[in-house]
Amino acid sequence: MKQIPNLFTLLNLVFGCVAIVYILQNGIAIHYSSSGAPYIDIPEKMGMAAIFIGLAGVVDFLDGFVARFFNASSEMGKQLDSLADVVSFGVAPSMILYQFLRMSYYQGEDGINQPVLLLFPAFIFAAAAAYRLAKFNIDTKQQYGFRGVPTPAAGITVAALPLMYWHNNLPWLADLLTNKWFLYLVIALLSALMVSNLPIMAMKFKSFTLKDNLPKIILLLIAVLAILFLHWTAVPVIFVAYILLSLLMRNQTT
């Protein structure tokens, strides 16, 4: 029974591995119009990677409940959780960023011949995720509040990019998501937020009073409304709301 929570955590890792398989198998598709002009795109099947990263997020959220249900919380479980997270929410999202950077360069003039080093900044995200998780493991104070944005929150935000790219009614959004400067900004901003010491609320309940849980309730309402009106584009909106609520109501989030 004591190994059941660890097996549950490993499911997080498996989902992350499946996501990476989808990301690597698709690559970049080059189409040609009747006039012979090339059109560069990422096959829509890569959206499955986003789904599996989302499933990893669900498992990551629930594994603590499973450990408490079986009364099997352990130091090994804590370390295993971080090892799984670095794959599902660090490496896999980095590969998504890598593919989007590839597409952004391939769409430019002579883009296929661009140096591969220009794509390597995507891996800064994975490095920042690993650093964030290591910092969390040695800090005993991050129970009901975090220092820096949690890796799963940043990883799921990146995972939404393929779904936002294909499933939106905003023509400018696809262009924005394949703009290399925007992608570099996303990498820099999310990486900096992960390794920062900003006070960020944890989605755990230390009591059931309205005062202690007001930021979480507000975030839930924002999330529901954003999903109803914005669909997949709601993910970055919820992420920004999460950061702002944590900063504006820091006394209730720590």
Domain count, the chain: 2
Tell me: pLDDT of 109 over 80.
Answer: no
- Beta strands per DSSP E along the chain: 29-32, 38-41, 145-147, 199-201
Segments forming the whole domain that contains residue 252 = 203-254
Same domain flag for 107 and 139: yes
Same domain flag for 104 and 125: yes
Same domain flag for 216 and 143: no
Same domain flag for 193 and 211: no
pLDDT tens digits for range 55-78 = 999 998 887 777 777 776 777 878
DSSP, res 207 = -
How far is 214 from 218, CA to CA, in rounded Å? 6
Identify the domain boundary among 197, 217, 234: 197
DSSP, res 110 = T
pLDDT tens digits for range 8-32 = 889 999 999 999 999 988 656 666 5
Same domain flag for 89 and 178: yes
56 closest CA partner among 76, 78, 81, 22: 81
Q: Residue 162's domain is classified under what CATH number?
A: 1.20.120
Phi, psi angle pair for 114, to nearest 5°: -70, 145
Give CA separation, 98 vs 5, 152, 154, 158, 241, in Å.
32, 18, 16, 11, 26
Say what the pTM is.
0.88
